[in-house]
Amino acid sequence: MHDFQYKGDELYCEDVSVKKIAKEVGTPFYLYSYNTLKNHFRAFDSAFAGIPHLVCFAVKSNSNIALLKIFAEEGGGFDIVSGGELYRALLAGADPQKIVYAGVGKTREEIRYALKSNILMFNVESTQELFAIDEVAGEIGVKARVALRVNPDIDAKTHPYISTGLKTHKFGMSTKDALEGYRIARSLENIEVTGIHKHIGSQITQISPFMDALERIVALIDILKNENLNVRYLNIGGGLGITYKDESPPYPKELAAELSPVLKGIHCTIIFEPGRVIVGNAGILVTRVLYTKRSEGKTFLIVDAGMNDLVRPSFYGSYHSILPVDKNSNSHKIVADVVGPICESGDFLAKDRVLPELKKESLAAIMSAGAYGFTMSSNYNSRPRVPEILVRDKEFYIIRKRESYEDLVRGEEIPLF
Ligand code: LLP
């Protein structure tokens, strides 16, 4: 459920008219609902209330500090993948002891920053990384808590670009290498073996890949126990999917019902890293139709948001539902490509989509854009990035300003030669 609903013919976010926001901030813009964000976080967190756990929101899905603050206030932690995400999480008031750090390419500077910030643990993806963390920890004179990321070789049954748990993927270590990795980790002076981690992919719409991967990890935990390597934390990653079109992914409580009996038997604190399931349907991208154009039997709606603002359709062929902000002007249906102003044929938000007729100047809402929307946006074609707006009840707040042309060239210099 989310708080983007029609009141009469007009689309609202909670108690604020989307049209009213567009009038004040211009288009395009990302729009998030505070109540949806909070409710989604709570739904996930409470689903696992029966077991000791920590929900670490995946910052890569949406990293605006105003949103991170909401999750921190709800008692959430954060899954980060860079020094920049660590900076954001700390700025938002995160408890460093609730931050876990994944990613195959952590630099020594990033490792140092994370150690100095006293994060809960690193999710280590290779033995070379393990040695690097040991060295940096030694230089600073601290012990680094680590989990090894295990690649369970499970097909997440999702888009190949966002599937991460097969042995052909760059992520984690095979169970065999992880076992060896744990033995090495135990021998390193500045490392404390704390946990075990897996994440098999994103937009997963079935329970079975989660369950299969969990069973493989549990088997490894048993082997580790026999070697007196006791992990205190089991991090099962993120990946739970949402409904963009007609998918029917399990609700968090359904996933919890299946996984909990196994999780309870492990006697670890369970870490989750959800991103999309919390923010995906809590955000939309609002855009305006600039022109309509018919050619060779095709209709194009040319809107002011492009692939630089929301790259998912171009990149993954993703479906995002498109709704008129004002139903009034829309009587009959058309079939159209919704395209942006970028100079690439791959710049589209929808192809051959059946839509209510959207005339020049009308507003459209690109739904389910809260996850991997703004965070994947760019300045391509020298387009300033769009603002982000947060609605809470009757008020809206600009939580990121629209970029200016000055912002576009910040840091650039023309050499004096
Ligand atoms: N944990 C780790 C280690 C991850 O790599 C990810 C996502 C997550 C958690 C959160 O996964 P979620 O719950 O959001 O599925 N840009 C793509 C998605 C890439 C996901 C990358 N990793 C998209 O727009 O679909």
Q: Please indicate whether residue 229, judged by its CB atom, sits closer than 6 Å to ligand 1.
A: no
Domain boundary among 219, 249, 272: 272
pLDDT in tens, 120-134: 999 999 999 999 999
What atom of ligand 1 comes closest to residue 280's alpha carbon? 14
Q: Which residues pair with 12 in a beta bridge?
A: 5, 17
Give the lowest-confidence range in 43-47, 114-118, 173-177, 388-392.
Answer: 173-177
Q: What is the helix (H) or strand (E) element at residue 117, kind and residue range?
A: none
Check whether residue 262 and residue 320 sit in a common domain.
no
Helices (H) and strands (E) in the chain, counts: 12, 20
The pLDDT value recorded for residue 154 is 87
pLDDT at 330 (0 to 100): 56
Give 61 Cα–ligand 1 centroid separation in angstroms: 7
Ligand 1 pocket member 241 (CB < 6 A): no
pLDDT 10s digits, 270-300: 999 999 999 999 999 999 999 999 998 899 9
Lowest mean pLDDT among 149-153, 155-159, 378-382: 155-159
Averaged pLDDT of the chain: 96
Quick check: is 13 catalytic?
no
Among 248, 272, 296, identify where a domain stops. 272
Q: Model confidence over 55-77: pLDDT tens digits?
A: 999 999 999 999 999 999 999 99
88 assigned to some structural domain? no
Q: Do 335 and 353 meet the contact criterion of CB atoms below 8 Å apart?
A: yes
- Read off the pLDDT of residues 137-150 as tens digits, 9 standing for 90 and up: 999 999 999 999 99
**Helix-helix angle 108-116:83-91, to 10 degrees:** 20
| Domain CATH code at residue 181 | 3.20.20.10
Together in a domain, 298 and 335: yes
Residues 259 and 266: their CA atoms lie apart, in Å, by 11
**Quick check: is 52 in a domain?**
no
Rounded CA-CA distance 312/117 in Å is: 33
In angstroms, how far is CA 369 from the centroid of its own chain?
11
| Band of residue 222 on the pLDDT scale cut at 50, 70, 90 | very high
* 119 falls within a domain: yes
pLDDT band at 33 (very low <50, low <70, confident <90, very high): very high
Ligand 1 pocket member 12 (CB < 6 A): no
Residue 326 is classified by DSSP as B
pLDDT of 328 higher than 90: no
Q: What is the DSSP string of 1-69?
A: --SEEEETTEEEETTEEHHHHHHHH-SSEEEEEHHHHHHHHHHHHHHTTTS-EEEEEEGGG---HHHHH
Q: Is 58 domain-assigned?
A: no
Give the number of domains in the chain.
2
Question: Which residue of 273, 277, 375 sits with most ligand 1 atoms within 8 Å of its CB, as the best mutation to test the pocket?
Answer: 273
Domain boundary among 272, 289, 315: 272
Residues 6+ apart with CB under 8 A from 152: 165, 175, 198, 200, 212, 213, 216, 217
Query: Which residue type is seen at 39?
Result: N
Residue 76 placed within a domain: no
Distances (CA, A) of 403 to 338, 378, 383, 389, 400: 24, 11, 9, 14, 9
Q: Are residues 268 and 301 in the same domain?
A: no
Tell me, yes or no, whether 12 and 132 share the same domain. no
- Beta-carbon contacts of 9 under 8 Å, excluding residues fewer than 6 positions away, are 326, 327, 328
Q: What is the CATH number of the domain that holds 26?
A: 2.40.37.10
233 shares a domain with 112: yes
171 and 23 housed in the same domain: no
Is the same domain home to 191 and 316? no
Same domain for 300 and 151:
no
Which pLDDT score is estimated for 258?
A: 97
Q: Which domain holds residue 369?
A: 4-32+280-409
**What number of other Cβ atoms are within 10 A of residue 406's Cβ?**
8
Cα separation values, 339 from 322, 347, 349, 366, 415, Å:
12, 6, 6, 12, 38
Is the same domain home to 125 and 264? yes
Cα 38 from Cα 367, distance rounded (Å): 18
Three-class SS of residue 323? strand
The rounded distance, in Å, linking the Cα atoms of 155 and 208 is 10
Domain presence at residue 208 = yes
Residue 267 shares a structural domain with residue 287: no
> Angle at the Cα of 282 (from 67 to 8), degrees rounded to 5?
130
Ligand 1 proximity of 274 Cβ (cutoff 6 Å):
yes
pLDDT band at 163 (very low <50, low <70, confident <90, very high): confident
260-270 pLDDT tens trace: 999 999 999 99
What is the model's pLDDT at position 329?
54
CB 257 within 8 A of CB 222: no
Q: How far is the CA of 97 from the centre of ligand 1 (A)?
A: 22
> Rounded mean pLDDT of 81-97?
98
The pLDDT of residue 179 is 96
CB of 79 closer than 6 angstroms to any ligand 1 atom = yes
184 pLDDT more than 80: yes
On whether both 260 and 118 belong to a single domain, the answer is yes
Q: Quick one: which of 242, 205, 204, 376 has its CA closest to 319? A: 242
The beta-strand segments (E) located in 133-252 are: 144-149, 191-197, 233-235
Give the Å distance between the CA of 100 and the centre of ligand 1: 14
**Mutation to probe ligand 1, out of 37, 41, 44, 60 (largest number of atoms < 8 A from CB):** 60
pLDDT for residue 1: 79
Q: Does 266 share its domain with 157?
A: yes
